[in-house]
Chain A
Amino acid sequence: MLRCGRFCLTAIAVIVGLFAENASDERVRVERVPVLGGGELITLICQLPQDAASGKAGQDFPLISILRDTMGDADPSNDALRSVWVLSYARPSIFQRIAGTLPFLYMRAGSSQRHDHGVPVPIFDMGAAGRRTFPKVTRAVLQSEMLDTIGIPVRASTRAYSGNATDFRNQHVWQALNVLSSTSPNDELSASDLERLQARLLLSTRMLGDLVSESYLSAAFNKENTARMETRGHNWELLRQKAEEDGLYFQPLSVGFNKSAHALLWIESHHYDRDMPFNGQFLSIANPFEGNWLEKWKGYKETWYLDANGARVDADIPGARPVEMVPVALYSLDHPRTPLLLVDFRRPSMPKRREMMRRAVDQVTVGVLGLTGFGNWPFLAGNTAWRFVRTRWGAAMDRTARERAYAQLDHSLFLDESLNPALRRELQRRVDGFAMNPMDNGMAVEARIAREQYAALVAFAGRPGGLEKTLARDRSMEIAPEVHSKGSRAMFELAHVATFGRYQHTDRMNTELLAEVDRERRFAWHKRFLEDVLDSTPRAEVAFDMGQVQKSLDAITEIGGENPNLREESEQLVRRVLAQTSDAMTRQRCLECLQRLAKLPVVSTPAAAVSADNGAQ
């Protein structure tokens, strides 16, 4: 009963997909490429706007690829989403890596000539999310317990490198989320798939987030989505009211796939009131009514029509007067608590200088002075108090949120075709100048890299020993708990870590093991459905299609009969359904299932199948 809050959200996950207001952009298409060994590569590809990519208009920008293991059949219940590639994410070059170790280097070190024809590195594996946690925690421990103690040069450079590498990866995660959040469910990716993908990607940016259970992904997604929508509306209104109070003009912007996630503030270029009181709280800009910057302004302008009250109206409204408007600042509305200044038109370098200052302070305190949170309690207390007060007053103290906002604007502007091209260019120029990570390549280069990596990935998918091998390895990992003892698996893991990932134990997938993978997946699928049913409603027949429930009962009974390890679990599930339904047919089916499970003979375990045909690769 009491877990229902969570499971109710799980149950409605698919329904929530119906509300997806960000209908997919028509320029985004989904490509499906078959993969040898029983899988498919699903890729979201965007057609670039006419003036993007240095005049190479209309080119494709492959955004994300997802490997779906279909087991070679059309049954969705044994499908599994596996590797996820953000195709613009490529390994940093040696030069970039070296530059990434330099503290206080806040500039892009990528080359515009950079190419990457290699098979891309997946940013994430949906089927083995938790595997990323151990290396992450190990790195953090190594950093604080070993590297930090060696001395300032090592501490500062290793921290700079790990910070840049993490930021670089996260930057691509944010870009992926940017795309996925505006993708409507389709034949290739269901609402549930999209939610799980987004939830996993989001959680992957946290230290222990990869360990969150599959059953909580929907809740994570819904919570994130609600918080984002609340923040966006809050900031939208905060900025509108601030504009009204300060004599500016507010304009919400839809950039790229992001609907109303940004806003511009404008100022009348000639007829403004120089004595207008200005309160810059939350705006992070200097008084735009001071100085003569507007007279000197040579940048982008627009002509608006205002009525007698100063409100914007259509040109054909009687009494409307034309007014020349100059953009003042661009804000992200997705930043928690307050809009985040992304572009300051009057002082273009200000946002970057402010960000550099924040990072420099972090690097001095942590990298140079070695004042880490848990290593120095007075510093932790002081820092926490300072951050709390600053955040309370509306300062943008959340580095991750800031990075996400910059990454998403950069990405959105590159894909946008709704803004006035001149305004978009002006914004792109200013956002481009904000780049601070030496590993960053810039959107134009990344678009080219994405095309190259996608081509390589497609080739890899069709090549024997390519993605086919990845599928086999993934299946082997999936079935490992069934065929190997805990001790053996720990040894395999140790070997994997000790060889920096070069060794990966893989069982050769014979027919029986494949059948076992199939069974396990189908069982997990039906179990998840039945648990959702049971945990989200006290009486199954009220909220669910009982035909589907009966099918799942049959399926788990059949699988429970084939695999004795699953028999008890099957029986428990059937009993729970029996207790939570008054539907006569379903109750009858439950009783039949229980009878079938009780009469089943004992069958051999899958481990026996491995012993006959085992091997490591």
Chain B
Amino acid sequence: MSIRLAGLLALAASLAWGAPKRLVILKVDGLPKDIVQKYLDERDPLSGKSRLPWLDRIFRQQGASVDNFYVRGISLSAPSWSMLDTGRNLVIRGNAEYDRYTLRVYDYLNFFPFYVGYARAKRADMPGVEVLDEAGVPLLIDRYPSGERYQSMQLYQRGVSWETLGGTLVHRITSRTPGQLFNEWQLGFELGKGVNEQVERELIAKLADPNVRYLDFFVGDYDHVGHLTNDAASQYGVIRQLDTLAGRIWTAIQGSELADQTIFVLVSDHGMNTDPAVISQGYSLIDFFGSAEGGGHHVITNRHPLTEYKLKGLDPFVSEVVTPSAHSFYLKDQADDYPTALLDLDGNERACVQLRNNRLNELQILLQRPRDSRAIFQLLDEQRASWERTLKELDEELGALRRLIARLDATVKSTSVKWAKSHRKEGAYLDLRRQTAQLHSWQEDEVGYSAYARALARLLRMEPKQFESSKPKTDELIPKRVMGDPNTIYDLQNYAVGPGTDGFRRVNYFELITGVRVRNNVQAQVSSKPVDFVAVRCPVEAPDEEGIWVYESETSQALILSRRGQSGLELRYVPVQGLRQDRSGKVTYTEQPWRDGLPLRIFEDPQLSVPGDRAEWLSGWHTDREWLEAVHQTAYSNAIIGLQEELSRDLPAPAVPPKSADEIVLRRFEERKRHLAQADLLILASNHWNFNTRGFNPGGNHGSFFRISTHSVFMLAGAGIPEGLRVERPYDSLSFMPTLLSLTGLASPDELKRFPGPVIDEFDPNRHRSETAEASLYNCCR
């Protein structure tokens, strides 16, 4: 599939509409717009210039800036860059994701396994790219043939440039005099800086090659420092270095042959909730879920808690760590076999939680008491229809997958030849590696899902007579290392954590999590409540609508409804209270009028911008565009859109639609895998709180919908970009790629319309010219 896709994209690139322009993108991880704006506006008393003189010169004086550019979805690197790099809705929703059926970990941030896999010819792309490829979602870089692009090291990286790594080591030494090396040794060498220097060196060299039409440079320094310290001087130091880097790139662009055809872009994936006066406080959800009150879960995370204090923390390949609970009520000492909670805590202002399916818990607890065989079969009968349907569908999907694996295996084997070193950078070689990686991935899925299907079948085959002769072995019936189907709201409100007086000891996670309070809170600006709210998908009656339930307390709740209308996505916020779901799935709640103190604090926010009566406007259906314009300046910015984006089960349509029967079934399998990687619970931290357990992030965090975390940087300069333009109208990540495609002439107007996000048409030179002409005429007439 990826070969066909690449071919189409290359063809599209070669048949570009209009004169395609060169694109140079400076990608900065976590750079907050507000902080950049502050320094842009401040004057250096010594020079009288902006404190960020190059960004001021390039993007404010000679270029344009989107002043209200937001992350759509969660303000987290992997999801956010995926949206910027594809222009499509979310496929990847966290920095780490887990498949509920197989516990396969999608560890999007870990470079080490990728580099080693690449060296062993088993991988071709970073894990995020592999997932997007499987979902049929192309990247911006795919628009350019491999010889016309230069990509730096980043999350959505295709291939590895060993020359960059090799050059880093060599140039780190050869570009310095012995004196400089001595000085740097005394101050402490920094390898990361060496990599950046090498990438810069290569990028500037590539700018001299007119055949290279796409170049990017990913910088993660600000995000790193912003997490570690809220010290304004330290953060400014990094931003100032970035400013100078932009200056050097811009100067090189100006000196290049394609200077007048080059667009230079500065973009960040999210902001950073950092305040020089406040230290971000951490709360450990691992400890919470492992505690007796939290359910005594054995918890899986993608990294070791307190990594820096463990020898195991030095293992760069780790993607799964089990933290056993000493308080488990029915799975004591079975942490490796029966982990029951999966946490993705990255970004740290939010956590994605997947808990083992409540019915599996109940079944396992009942199996530990074989006298309750009637209850066991009652439970099995309750699940039978759903599990049989799953089993039937899995059977079809695995059949199609096996046929696909056989075909691909034959292709890979037939094309596996010894490649000459000189040919190892060519597209065909990388495509073969890509196919090999794809084959391994599908084989892994086939093994995992087959095992799950067998376990499900075993459960469904279970009969009462098995209980008559001997006690059935729990571990033969309950699949190990499986989370099962996602939990419903009922499950999460009545989660079985162990045997209890009336059958089960149950926990209501909504009340429990939002009820957490801490004693050690020494900052007046920080509340003693680490959790702001919890959000989950909620079934709604209308078949064409999706619902998201936002729970802050028993009396402060909301339902965010979404549907596809004539003009695209439409959303509605319904204040509710007392929402409950019964075991059959029926949801009940009481609507309440708009008032202060509801989740997301929209109603009382002075920055809310709606025409007429607030309550009236807020009670209606509005498109995502209308919501964005109304709420983007509020404390929670575009949370209402972001929550829908993060929790929706919708996936972007593949670039190449499935045609054959197998392709259609495999598409369903792909959708299943993505749904199984989604969270049961999305937990959002209160302001200046974080859930980091890997270490400590006192400087700042992101991941929430607070405006400071979602407000990102998008600035442009160069060919065709109006000078001095400041776009006030709000836009989000979905507009990034179509806007660049429009500006570079790489997509037709028809294709641009198929993107879910609008093109930022303020950059349209025709529109700008006509507006300027209008303004001139107006001034003349005055």
Residues of A that sit less than 8 Å from B by CB: 1-6, 8-9, 12, 14-16, 18-21, 203, 206, 208-209, 211-213, 215-216, 219-220, 222-223, 225-226, 229-230, 233-234, 236-238, 240-241, 243-245, 249-252, 281-282, 306, 309-312, 337, 389, 392-394, 536-539, 542-545, 548
Q: Are A542 and B53 in contact (CB under 8 A)?
A: yes
Q: How far is the CB of B190 from chain A (nearest CB, A)?
A: 9
1/0 per residue, CB under 8 A from A, across B236-252: the answer is 11001100110110010
Chain A: interface secondary structure?
helix
Show 28 A/B contacts (Cβ-Cβ < 8 Å), sorted by A. A1-B248, A4-B241, A4-B244, A5-B197, A8-B244, A9-B241, A12-B236, A15-B240, A19-B231, A209-B186, A212-B183, A216-B186, A225-B233, A230-B229, A233-B230, A233-B279, A234-B698, A249-B519, A309-B517, A310-B519, A311-B521, A311-B528, A312-B522, A392-B310, A536-B244, A537-B244, A543-B244, A544-B47
Pick the contact of A233 from B54, B186, B699 — CB < 8 Å? B699
Instruction: Kindly state the separation between the CA atoms of A230 and B695 in the bound complex, as whole angstroms.
Output: 12
Whether B661 sits at the interface, judged by CB under 8 Å, is: no
Residues of B within 8 A of A245 (CB): 287
Question: Across the interface, do B248 and A4 meet the contact criterion of CB distance under 8 Å?
Answer: yes
Closest to A393 in B: B309
From B193, B282, B521, B528, give the contact of A5 (CB < 8 A).
B193
- What are the residues of chain B within 8 A of A310 when measuring CB–CB? 519
Q: A430 CA to B767 CA in the complex, in Å?
A: 74
Measured CB to CB, the closest approach of chain A to B185, in angstroms, equals 9
CB contacts (< 8 Å) of B251 on chain A: these are 538-539
B234 touches A542 (CB 8 A): no
Name which residue of chain B comes closest to A9, CB basis: B237
Q: Quick one: closest A residue to B46, CB to CB? A: A14
In the complex, which of the residues B284, B287, B521, B695 has the most CB atoms of chain A within 10 Å of its own CB atom? B521
Binding site for A on B (CB under 8 A): 44-49, 51, 53-54, 57, 171, 175-176, 179-180, 182-184, 186-188, 193, 196-197, 200-201, 204, 225, 228-234, 236-237, 240-241, 244-245, 247-248, 251, 276, 279-282, 284, 287, 308-311, 313-314, 517-522, 528, 695-699
Known: A16-B233, A226-B231, A544-B47. A21 touches B276 (CB 8 A): yes
Q: Which residue of B lies closest to A241 (CB)?
A: B282
Docked pose: A557 CA to B228 CA in angstroms: 46
Q: How far is A563 from B201 in the complex, measured between Cα atoms in Å?
A: 38
Chain A residues whose CB sits within 8 angstroms of the CB of B200 once the complex forms = 1-2
Minimum CB distance partner of B183 in chain A: A216
Provide the residues of chain B in CB contact with A14, threshold 8 Å.
Answer: 46
Q: How far is the CA of A233 from the CA of B697 in the complex (A)?
A: 8
Chain B, residue nearest A220 (CB): B187
Q: A250–B528 Cα gap in the complex (Å)?
A: 14
Are the CB atoms of A12 and B284 closer together than 8 Å?
no
* Contact residue among A15, A244, A537 (Cβ-Cβ distance under 8 Å from B247): A537
Query: With A1-B204, A233-B228, A234-B228 given, is the CB distance from A244 to B698 under 8 Å?
Result: no
Q: Are A545 and B46 in contact (CB under 8 A)?
A: yes
Given A212-B183, A542-B53, residue A236 in contact with residue B698 (CB < 8 A): yes
B196 to chain A, nearest CB (A): 8
CB-based contact B186/A226 at 8 Å: no
Interface centre among A1, A237, A542 (most CB of B within 10 A): A542
**Option from A1, A8, A241 in Cβ contact (under 8 Å) with B241:** A8
A237–B522 contact, CB under 8 A?
no
Q: For A240, what are the chain B residues with a Cβ–Cβ distance below 8 Å?
A: 281, 520, 522
8 Å CB contact of A537 from B54, B193, B225, B697:
B54
- Tell me, rounded to whole Å, the shortest Cβ–Cβ distance linking B294 to chain A: 14
Q: Are A542 and B49 in contact (CB under 8 A)?
A: yes
Residues of A within 8 A of B171 (CB): 2
Q: Which of A223, A240, A544 has the most CB of B within 10 A?
A: A240
**A543-B54 in contact (CB<8A):** yes
Closest chain B residue to A224, Cβ basis: B187
Find chain A residues with CB under 8 A from B311 CB.
Answer: 389, 392-393
Q: Which of B44, B187, B232, B251 has the most CB of A within 10 A?
A: B187
A236-B698, A252-B522 are known contacts. Are A212 and B236 too (CB-CB below 8 A)? no
B234 & A230 in contact (Cβ 8 Å cutoff): yes
Report if A543-B518 is in contact (Cβ < 8 Å); known contacts: A1-B200, A16-B236, A392-B311: no
Known: A240-B520, A309-B528, A545-B47. A537 touches B186 (CB 8 A): no
Min CB–CB distance A283 → chain B (angstroms)? 13
Tell which of B184, B186, B234, B237 touches A203, judged by Cβ atoms closer than 8 Å: B186
Assess whether A15 is in contact with B522, with CB atoms less than 8 Å apart: no
A250's partner among B280, B310, B314, B522 (CB-CB below 8 A) is: B522
- With a cutoff of 8 Å between Cβ atoms, the chain A residues found around residue B196 in the complex are 5
Other than the given A21-B231, A545-B46, 16 more pairs (CB < 8 A) read: A4-B241, A5-B197, A15-B51, A19-B236, A208-B182, A222-B234, A229-B231, A230-B228, A230-B231, A233-B279, A241-B282, A538-B251, A542-B247, A543-B49, A543-B54, A548-B47
With A and B bound together, what is the CA distance between A226 and B186 in angstroms? 16
Contact (Cβ within 8 A) A206 B186: yes
- Cβ-defined contact, A234 with B248, below 8 A: no
Q: Taking A21-B276, A311-B519 as contacts, is the C-beta distance between A211 and B186 under 8 angstroms?
A: yes
Query: Quick one: given A537-B244, A539-B247, are A545 and B48 in contact (CB under 8 Å)?
Result: yes
Closest to A245 in B: B287
What's the Cα separation between A311 and B522 when bound, in Å? 9
